[in-house]
């Protein structure tokens, strides 16, 4: 993996990854757009984001390790723990199967940066509509997620393979449509992110094992740490934010950023 990426740029991309991974704004989209603004080739951004994603994964794991351990400990004698484990597995499967089957096609989309602002705008409009018309909440805890809802959320997650859609946005909005309240939807999205991101990042890292070298270690370490710290802060802040607010601000944010970037990309073409 060869690039003139500086440590400052690596830190900036790490911060962008951590800040956006668990918000409904598309981390991949923001990384591609950030790389475009920094003048970094999108193929390199795609390579670089793979190892630093482990920082974001570790951040959410560190925040939820106690609850995860409680689920694991209660599996033998708790129907809820077994149902929650099944829910995570079912939600994970669609993206895993589709991702493996269409890996090449999905990666080819990363070379078309124009897709990102279009998806940001469409996703923003969808968030505003869902916040306006979603049904009353029936599920108030992530651990109470039903298997059918989880499977459907998994198919929503698969849509996020298109750059700019947002994995968190697709899963959270899908959950809201299915009667899950905002905090439970966000937390289920966090739980689901761990196996999904771990599997995707590990698979990509294996595929790119001949490209990433030891010379990149310092740059990757900087991005990893920045992604870890910023992701941990964002997860805590988002849950506090949802105690009193909706996701509408993220919908408007996506629309504004999408329109600005669409104009910038069009003018630069």
Task: Write out the chain's pLDDT in tens, 269 residues.
Answer: 445 567 888 899 999 999 999 999 988 778 877 887 887 766 666 667 777 888 999 999 999 999 999 999 999 999 999 999 999 999 999 999 998 888 777 777 766 778 889 999 999 999 999 999 999 999 999 999 999 999 999 999 999 888 889 999 999 999 999 999 999 999 999 999 999 988 888 877 777 666 666 666 788 888 899 999 999 999 999 999 998 999 999 999 999 999 998 998 888 76
Question: Helical H runs in the chain?
Answer: 7-21, 27-38, 42-74, 79-101, 103-108, 115-133, 147-158, 167-177, 182-207, 217-242, 248-268
187 alpha-carbon distance from chain centroid: 13
**Whole-number Å distance between alpha carbons of 156 and 175:** 9
DSSP state of 134: P
Distance CA 7, CA 13 (A): 10
Quote the CA–CA distance of 117 and 91 in Å, as a whole number: 27
Within 13 Å, how many C-alpha atoms sit on residue 198's CB side? 12
Rounded Cα distance between 27 and 135, Å, is: 28
Quick one: CA dihedral 45, 51, 55, 57, positive or negative? positive
Ranges of each domain in the chain: 7-268
């Amino acid at each position: 993996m060869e690039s003139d990426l500086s440590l400052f740029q690596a830190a900036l991309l790490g911060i962008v990854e951590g800040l956006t991974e668990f918000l409904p704004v598309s981390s991949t989209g923001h990384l591609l757009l950030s790389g475009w603004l920094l003048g970094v080739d999108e193929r390199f951004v795609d390579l670089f984001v793979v190892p630093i994603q482990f920082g974001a994964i570790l951040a959410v794991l560190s925040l939820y390790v106690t609850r995860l351990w409680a689920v694991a400990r209660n599996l033998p004698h708790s129907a809820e723990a077994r149902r929650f484990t099944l829910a995570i597995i079912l939600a994970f499967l669609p993206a895993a199967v589709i991702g493996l089957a269409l890996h090449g096609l999905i990666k080819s989309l990363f070379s078309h940066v124009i897709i990102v602002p279009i998806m940001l705008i469409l996703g923003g409009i969808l968030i505003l509509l869902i916040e306006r018309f979603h049904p009353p909440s029936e599920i108030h805890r992530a651990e109470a997620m039903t298997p059918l809802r989880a499977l459907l959320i998994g198919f929503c997650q698969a849509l996020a393979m298109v750059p700019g859609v947002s994995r968190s946005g697709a899963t959270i909005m899908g959950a809201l449509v299915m009667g899950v309240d905002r905090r439970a939807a966000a937390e289920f999205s966090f739980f689901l992110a761990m196996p999904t991101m771990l599997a995707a990042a590990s698979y990509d890292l294996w595929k790119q094992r001949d490209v990433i070298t030891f010379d990149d270690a310092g740059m990757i370490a900087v991005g990893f740490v920045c992604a870890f710290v910023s992701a941990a802060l964002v997860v805590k802040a988002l849950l506090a934010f949802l105690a009193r607010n909706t996701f509408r601000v993220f919908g408007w944010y996506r629309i504004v950023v999408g329109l600005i970037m669409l104009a910038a990309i069009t003018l630069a073409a």
